[in-house]
A and B are shown apart, each in its own frame.
Chain A
Amino acid sequence: MAPSRDYDEDENIDFSDLVEQFEVRLDEGLDKFVVVDGCPIVTDEQKPKLIKVLCKRLGEAGRINVDGIFMPVDDATGKTSGYCFLEYDTPEQALAACKRLNGLPLDKKHTLWINKLTDIEQYGREGRIQEEFVPPPEKQFEEQEHLRSWLSDPQARDQFAMYRGDHVGVFWNKKKDAPEPAVDREHWTESFIQWSPQGTFLTSIHAQGVQLWGGPSWKRIRRFAHPAVNLVDFSPNEGYLVTWSHRPIQIPEILPPNFPLSADEDGKNFIIWDVKTGKVVRSFASIDEPETPGPEKGRKKIQWPSFKWSSDDKYVARCVPGQAIQVYETPSMTLLGKKSIKIEGVVDFEWQPAIPTTGKGKPQTEQLFAYWTPEMNNQTARAGLMSIPSKEIVRTRNLVNVSDCKLHWQNGGKYLCVKVDRHTKTKKSNYTSLEFFRVTEKDIPVEIVELKQVVVNFAWEPKGDRFVFITIDEAIAGAAVAPKTNIHFYAPEKTKSGAIGEFSCVKIVEKKNHNAIYWSPRGRIVVVATVHSQQSFDLDFYDFDFEGEKQKQEHAAPGKELAANLLLMATGEHYGVTDVEWDPTGRYVATSASAWKQQSENGYHLFDFKGAVLREEPIDRFKQFLWRPRPPSLLSKEEMKKIRKNLREYSKVFDEEDELEATMANKEVVEYRMRLLTEWRNWRERVTEELMIDREAYGWKPPVEEEPIEDGEVVEEIVEEVIMETEEEVE
């Protein structure tokens, strides 16, 4: 028998906590009641009117028992106390009212707060609330890690993140040598990784939500619980984060403790978060788009990012296709002017990525976005620019025969290129025209470059006035090979006044397979590449400002000179390349073959900006290569100029450092090899000796010593060759 002990029945065990926890809550009939707080304080005469208003507003959630409304009146003042009790028909309706109508603005001054009566009972019961206010203990200030510490690397090296197999690591770029790991963790993310736009945070994606990591110790900075999250996007200044899941969020009726989301998020797909606090700013449901017919049926395509941010994080907007653009103001996240901007037919819009600082027109003070609408109801298609917050349309342009448009802003916000894909009247053939809006000039003039072919890719020089685009030859029906592409290089004409002249073609490279354009973030150098292709995988490095011999500009108008001296510097190749990315300083180009897109020979190559291969590293199950972005420079224009002027001196220092490192590394290698060699020789000596002893013990003779064959053995080879065979008939 197990040892037992007689318990004293009278022993005072305090199990009130258990009683409370497991107490069966009887239906008190009070579940139908809610408490409405924040009502206006009115006199007895005004009371019926208020009750009527309340019934109307709160009747949304269910039927209110009008007789059951109790609004106490303070005897001393003769006025109501600013709250009342309501009874709904069913407890479900009462619950719905709490979920949906809590925080309802009644008018400018009053917001209604609705709680279940039983909740007030449960949480506000005596003893639960301390009568006296006790200030929460002030937390000791904790020094946080510097989130931008990587920028203070003495050698100004850049970092990059790699996701391969199940490992995510951040590495320092060491050019030719193996990258130096800053951190490397297994199962850091469940689907992919992403840097924040200024490089402060590394984002990992999990079934439960999104996490941000950073600082020198790579600790978790923030977590955002969004179940089944699919995609994330940051605002340009990292102030906000947008998460999206294809599954609408389901909030359980009874919230578990510490549940990060509130009833507001029920049924929503998007959540906008404040990165600094980690709190939900607002959530949105997806806009139901008509399903696309054809093979994609049933699978809705999401346009990402769905919520687009103005360059100053001040506005965030999304497009309701065909109807309107909804512009929300931060931090309140309310619709600008409480209304969405109706633009009939609108397909897409794009914020100006920055407000240009130079220009002859009057300085721009508001944010701009570009949008376009297709042909409809006897109206031509149209591209326009709208200024926010004034909602003024500053420029529109009518377009005809439009099949599709793409909006390409130059990243300084100076130009907008609308790539208009058009069809002939018979709709038999397609072509493209490029419409350039010069935003900084007076009245925003538009310049047109018309082409006979379809443009498949377009890219502005970052912060520059030049661009590259790719046109595609018409596909030959039934041909097995993909149609060839042509690369067009454009630059403005030089003018005497120094203003930006008309855009003109610098060069056309024909009959290529290239399909992607990657400009250096510093401009000048552009890589044109063939990605996602089984047959070709070449990369061409072009320099727009070659400093040597002047190249011929055969396409320039007579007597005009273009602001470019284009030269093909180098060609490289990377089998199966799927992604090309410049480092944020424009010094290196990383090309990667991701296992997500193709299976063989995954890994990355590193090129310098001149197109010379620095490093090739094949890695199994390689998925992502992402350079860590850098925030904008803190140096003023003058300081930059000064550095550029004294560049030679700086580079001397860096060259010396490089050299020193190389010799150091060399020395290390030599020492390492020396050690290996000595170890090996010692081991051999020991083993040979042991073997000799063993041999004697076994009574084996030493093996037949291989007589050293000096000068090699002479092998005599007799070759008989029949030179001629004749047959003669002898009589």
Chain B
Amino acid sequence: MRPILLQGHERSLTQIKYNRDGDLIFSTAKDQIVSVWYSANGERLGTYSGHQGALWTVDVNPTTTLLATGAADNTIKIWDVQTGRCLKTWDFPTAVKRVEFSEDGTLLLAVTEMRMGYLGTVVVFPIVNDVNAPQADTPVLRITFEQSKGTVAAWSALNKHIVVGHEDGSVSLYDSKTGEQLANEQIHEPDMLITDIQMAPDRTYFVTASKDKSAKLVETSTLKVLKTYATDTPLNSAAITAKKDFVILGGGQEARDVTTTSAREGRFEARFFHKIFEDEIGRVRGHFGPLNTVACHPQGTGYASGGEDGYVRVHHFDQPYFDFMYEVEKMTRNQQIV
């Protein structure tokens, strides 16, 4: 598995997304540039420039026509994927930490930072999937966090709910129509920031990553923890692989702590865990800073990781990856064939 190193960014990566077909990779970094790459060979297709601050987040709609980005310049921008034209800019009082299109692409959620007297919020905008149509100016929903601010958020299936990961290690479920909080569960250690939430393909469960050095697989409708993946390092990102039952976790000693501790490896590795058995299966080295984001190819043929070191590493899985199977998985597969 020889990775392709994407050296287009000059500062640390913040988020990576594959489009639905998996042929394109969108990446954001603190250098104010959004890049788009061919996933097959790592060639850069182009950039979207216009933001005035570090970019925190990116998402592409299901038809790969619209791109949403959120940045530290307190704006969300909608771009025409094909031409790189900025279609819409929404201004906020604080930075935007996370954006995500809903399953059908008709809604966009965004998480805004709590700062300078403003509370953290989640806002939802309606989206018209047409590069020439005007977009709405005001959100249809605004959820304000009175207690612990939200750090990440994601859509459930059928746009029914919004799942929010909080700074205090809890996850809550909101009704996406009313904004009412339906549930709140302390699934990670108290006061351990949740750094990432990524949905499974059908959005019935999701994986969380936390600074408490663990990742959890959670059922969306009940917020029940299904699986726990324990590691020895703070995690920044977690992704669920398609095709194989794995999760990929990324993290590492925080950059600011590296110099204060030993000069030894800071565990800057992508870790593969078996989704069902919770065992660690393997690690992929390569980054020389903590992994800030990992993303899986929607067809499960590869993954990409972005690090504090400013590089994106795109991996295509080899045949042995697909052949690898636990004894019990082989047994049951044979049974199913019979």
Q: Within 8 Å of chain A (Cβ to Cβ): is B137?
A: no
The verdict on A670 contacting B327 (CB below 8 Å), with A600-B261, A717-B41 known, is yes
Chain B residues, Cβ within 8 Å of A703 = 103, 202
**Residue pair A687, B204 in contact (C-beta under 8 Å):** yes
The verdict on A670 contacting B204 (CB below 8 Å), with A709-B299, A715-B41, A717-B40 known, is no
Chain A residues, Cβ within 8 Å of B157 = 691, 694
The verdict on A691 contacting B202 (CB below 8 Å), with A670-B327, A703-B103, A717-B40 known, is yes
Chain A residues, Cβ within 8 Å of B245 = 680
Q: Within 8 Å of chain B (Cβ to Cβ): is A695?
A: yes
Residue of A nearest to B103 (CB): A703
Chain A residues, Cβ within 8 Å of B104 = 700
The verdict on A601 contacting B328 (CB below 8 Å), with A676-B277, A717-B41 known, is no
The verdict on A680 contacting B276 (CB below 8 Å), with A673-B326, A674-B328 known, is yes
List which B204-229 residues lie within 8 A (CB) of chain A: 204-205, 219, 226
Residue of A nearest to B242 (CB): A706
The verdict on A677 contacting B41 (CB below 8 Å), with A576-B262, A600-B261 known, is no
A713 to B298, CA, bound (A): 14
Would you give the shortest CB distance from B121 to chain A, in whole angstroms?
26
List which A678-717 residues lie within 8 A (CB) of chain B: 680, 683, 687-688, 691, 694-695, 698, 700, 703, 706, 709, 712-713, 715, 717
Q: Within 8 Å of chain B (Cβ to Cβ): is A599?
A: yes
The verdict on A691 contacting B204 (CB below 8 Å), with A676-B277, A677-B332, A717-B40 known, is yes
Q: Within 8 Å of chain B (Cβ to Cβ): is A575?
A: yes
Q: Within 8 Å of chain A (Cβ to Cβ): is B144?
A: no
A694 to B204, CA, bound (A): 12
Q: Within 8 Å of chain A (Cβ to Cβ): is B158?
A: yes
Chain A residues, Cβ within 8 Å of B23 = 713, 715
Q: How many residue pairs bridge A and B at CB < 8 Å?
A: 60
- Total contacting residues, chain B, CB less than 8 A: 30
A337 to B202, CA, bound (A): 89
Q: Which of the residues A576, A694, A706, A715 comes within 8 Å of B298, measured between beta carbons?
A: A706
Residue of B nearest to A675 (CB): B328
Q: Which of the residues B40, B158, B232 comes within 8 Å of A698, measured between beta carbons?
A: B158
Q: Within 8 Å of chain B (Cβ to Cβ): is A534?
A: yes
Chain A residues, Cβ within 8 Å of B328 = 670, 673-674, 677
List which B235-264 residues lie within 8 A (CB) of chain A: 245, 261-262, 264
Residue of B nearest to A676 (CB): B276
Q: Within 8 Å of chain A (Cβ to Cβ): is B323?
A: no
**Residue pair A695, B158 in contact (C-beta under 8 Å):** yes
Chain B residues, Cβ within 8 Å of A683 = 226
Would you give the shortest CB distance from B46 to chain A, in whole angstroms?
17
The verdict on A673 contacting B262 (CB below 8 Å), with A687-B204, A688-B202, A712-B301 known, is no
A599 to B327, CA, bound (A): 40
List which B3-53 residues lie within 8 A (CB) of chain A: 23, 38, 40-41
A618 to B280, CA, bound (A): 15
List which A549-570 residues lie within 8 A (CB) of chain B: none
28 contacts between A and B (CB under 8 A): A534-B262, A575-B262, A575-B264, A599-B261, A600-B261, A601-B264, A618-B232, A670-B327, A673-B276, A673-B328, A674-B331, A676-B277, A677-B332, A680-B245, A683-B226, A687-B204, A691-B157, A691-B204, A694-B157, A694-B158, A706-B298, A709-B299, A713-B23, A715-B23, A715-B38, A715-B40, A717-B40, A717-B41
A-B complex: 4 closest residue pairs judged by Cβ atoms: A715-B40, A687-B204, A673-B328, A680-B276
Interface residues of A (CB under 8 A from B): 534, 575-576, 599-601, 618, 670, 673-674, 676-677, 680, 683, 687-688, 691, 694-695, 698, 700, 703, 706, 709, 712-713, 715, 717
